[in-house]
Structure 1
Amino acid sequence: MSIHSVKRELFEKSPGKNMAPSHSFYYKGQGLTKVHRRCVDYESDYTNEAYERVSYDNGRTWSPWKNVYEQIIKKWGHGEIMWAKPPAVYNPYHDHYVVLCMQRLFPNGHREDYRLLWSGIKGTLDHTFIEVSKDLENRSSFLVKYEEGADYSGKEYLDREYTEKNLAYFGCNLEIDSNGDILFPIGARVKACCKILGIDPSDIFPSCPHISNGLIVVRGVWNEKENRYDFYPSKPLVISDLKSSRGIDEPTILLLKSGRIVVVFRGANTDLPGWNTRIAPDAPAHKWYTYSDDGGKTFSDPVPYRFDD
């Protein structure tokens, strides 16, 4: 008799007013070493505390908590760098782990840059990375590119060839295709998507194309010689700001047995004067979906994901 799944629910009371704790677990290496991370947020879209503890026996016993905040938030001058790294995905075809992660730059500090963002001015700067590791200890990191621009080596905080290029909010997940390729969605800026498509942003998303996102699905093909993935971005997809005032948010990819690739994403009916919002006051905030039947090269026009679908 085999164990199909093991489930444990953990509930933690808020440690204080306006404080939201969160928990995640991941394995370190290929044995039974498990890491438990606990974060506390008391500002929107920002991690204020981070701790980890380690178990060497798959969760039976645990080490004391250790403050790991500097692994998530790094300071430089008046600026900050925040890293978001979800648990790794194992690729059995190439016997390694893959992590879809994101770096968010705050050139002026997170409070000022979030103030700018919600005022309709580009403040935060997001880039998506892929990390590859054999053992979850030593990792190689690669910037996901969909246009020409500088790579990242830790010194490009103010290099416009980095900060103004390949901006992308990472998608919610990464999937392994049946041939060992990886597939993942990213939220690339509407302005950049329109440039690639050869269209004027004012024709489809005139309100705030510099801070809202379109969709690009990236296929990663393992390059054995270079020991890295080669990235092949799809044709970008942009939704009108009359349908979703914030564009395409939090895309999630699904690989169907038929070969069809589906991406579901969150729409928005947010009405913000600073963003020059055009959406109707009574417009619903749908979930939307789009699909591809050509391996992720092109995607259909998005339609609402209704409850009866």
Structure 2
Amino acid sequence: MPEILTITLKPAVDYATSTKHVEPGPKLYCAKPRIDPGGGGVNVARSIIKLCGSVSALVVVGGTMGHRLLRLLEAENVPTVECRVAGETGYSLAVTDATSGEQFRFTLPGEPVSENEAQMILDLVSKTAPQEGFVVLSGGAAHGLPDEFPSKVQAVVSRFDGRLVVDTSKAPLLHLINSPASPLDVLRLDRSEMEKATGRPMRTIADNLAYCEHLIARGVARIVVCGHGSEGSVMVNGNQKYFCSAPQVPVRSKVGAGDALVGAFTLSLARGIAPEQALRWGVAAASATVSTEGTALFECADAERLLSECRLERL
């Protein structure tokens, strides 16, 4: 099976807790927090491990929080490639209002990386990228990295005949969309990212599908997967178009759901599963994740159970 490497440029230590009611003013007393390693590629790697897959996680870390994140990954048996930088790694906080069930999410950024550190990251990607394997670049870009950094990663991966899966946001995502050097193997977006890119709401599956087709036609990616909230996900693979509906589950936390989808989808492709069936696995893993508390990811048994409820429709 092809090897898989995930890259996390902006990891975080994730804290999740709850309080009786979130309101401004008084001191709020919270429950004992759950603490997990976080960040896009980190959660993708954790998802692959949960599905009994093999993966290595390249993580850009620094300071005390960086040490803690690596220890948390070690506790989950996730093999890591450490890229040590001078700045402190960031952390995030998710607080659930126990009365309403609403979740409030806060992200505290890490420190910027320098120009020399940016080159060091690329050099390490070059040393660790698997030959003819999968590389997943997931999550935000660290402060200090140029908007075109994902394109530089793409150039490195192409030298090894690798397949690049990208799930990023903000300016780096817009750069990939507006200035494609060559098609990515897989691009994954959620509905809010599509709306920011287009400047208009994505109200329907048809809106979602049309934008996916637009990205394929412009040579942005060979496969585009776009989430449509709790309804499911659209995938366009060349001239093949699919919608996979998501099963109805209790929504407890949305943290890590998109990363779980990317992890299950990529592992399925690496196992030789057809892309449309890989999409079903991704939607099942994402649905199992939103039904967990705080920053927890899915359990394999739950994803397997929900797989039969992920209905695939060819559009």
Provide TM-score, normalisation by structure 2.
0.34
Structure whose alpha-carbon radius of gyration is higher: 1
Greater fraction of residues in strand: 1
Greater fraction of residues in helix: 2
Provide TM-score, normalisation by structure 1.
0.34
